[in-house]
Amino acid sequence: MHKVEVKKEEITLTYGTVSTLHYTVQAFCKEGDSIILNTPVYDPFESSAKKQGVKVINNTLDVIDNRYYINFDLLEEQIKNHKPKLMMFCTPQNPSGRIWTIEEMSKVARICKENSVILIADEVHAEHIHYGEFNSILNIEDELLENVILLTSPNKGFNLGGLKTSYSIIKNKELREIFKSKLQQNSITSPNVFGIIGLISAYDECRDWLVGVNKYIKGNYEILESWVNKYENISIMKMESSYLAWINISKLGISAKELTNRLALEVGVLVEDGSHFVNDGEGYIRINLGTQRENVVNALNRIDEFMNKFNKSY
C-alpha cells in the first residue's frame, strides 16, 4: 500500500506503539536529556519522555489557511540550542490528520541528521487516508533513513489495539541493535501470538474491508464538515487521514475544557478536549468519527441543541 520495500531483518516486533515510545526514550536518552516534538500532538509522546526524566521541547506548528505547517527555521533553531537526542514526529499528524509531503519529511530528517538527532516517526494512522495520498517516511532518501526509526502497527487501521501488537522498522543496524537491546532488558522478546495472526490476516486478507471502512469514515466526515460549516464561530481542519476530526472552537469565547464538560453534562455528548495534546491545542476539540453514522448524526443533533442555546446567551 505504501510503496516501500522492507527487509525482514529491519523489523522488530513490539507490544503496542505507546509502550514502544517509552522503550525508545529509555534506549537513546538518559535523565536530563531532551526530546523535541511538533505541537499539538498525541499526549503519550510527551509522557513517554517525562516519565523517564527527559525534558520536552515544543515546536509549535504554524496554522496557515486552517492547515498545519512546520516552522523549519524555529525547528532548526530549537534543535541547535537545546540539542535534543530524539525528535518524535507524527505522520500523518495527530490530532489534525495532516499528511506530510516527501519534501517536508526530508527537510525534517535532514535537520535531525545534521544535528545528530534520531528521528522517531509514528505512522500508526497511515491506513485511514481520505484526501490526497499518504507518503511513508521510508520513501525519503536512503542516506536520511540511516537516522530514522519508524514505529507503526495494524491497530488503528484494523481496530486491533487490544492485541497489543506493533513493530518498528529500523534500517540502521547500529540503531536497531541498541533498540533491541533495550527491549530485551525489558523482557520484550517474544511476540503476542494472537496479535501476529491478527497482523498477518489484516495485511494479507483485509484490504477490501479497509477500503470499505475508509469510505464509511469519509462519509461521516463529510456530514460533520457540512454541519460545522453552518456555524460562523467554529471551523474544521480538513481530515486528510485518520477518523478523528480537529475542530477550532476558539471563537466561541470559552475554553475547550469548559465546552467538553458542558457538552457532556448538558446534552450527553463526549468529545475530547484539545488541551490534552501537549501544547497549542487549547482552542480545539476532537470528535471521533470511527463509529456508526447514526451515532454521529445523533451527536451532532445534540450539539445543535447546545449551540442554539449557547449562541443565544452570548
Q: 3-state SS string over 12-45? A: EEECCHHHHHHHHHHHHCCCCCEEEEEECCCCHH
- pLDDT > 90 in the chain, percent: 95
Residues 86-107, mean pLDDT to the nearest whole number: 98
Residues 21-41, mean pLDDT to the nearest whole number: 97
d(CA 314, CA 309): 9
Q: What is the pTM of this model?
A: 0.95
Domains and CATH numbers, the chain: 8-205 (3.40.640.10), 207-313 (3.90.1150.10)
Which pLDDT score is estimated for 185? 94
Which pLDDT score is estimated for 312? 73
pLDDT in tens, 137-166: 999 999 999 999 999 999 999 999 999 999
Say which amino acid occupies 133.
E
Is residue 311 over pLDDT 90? no
pLDDT in tens, 228-239: 999 999 999 999
Which pLDDT score is estimated for 192? 87
**Cell for 203?**
495485511
Which pLDDT score is estimated for 191? 81
Is residue 314 over pLDDT 70? no
Judged by DSSP in three states, 150 sits in strand
Who contacts 56 (Cβ-Cβ below 8 Å, separation ≥6)?
Answer: 34, 35, 36, 37, 46, 49, 50, 278
In whole angstroms, what separates CA 122 from the centre of its chain?
7
Residues 109-128, mean pLDDT to the nearest whole number: 97
**Cell for 237?**
481542519
Band of the pLDDT at 189, cuts 50, 70, 90?
A: confident
Per the prediction, the chain carries an average pLDDT of: 96
Rg (CA), the chain: 20
Instruction: Report the phi/psi class of residue 53: left, alpha or beta, with left for phi > 0 and alpha for psi in -120 to 50.
Output: left
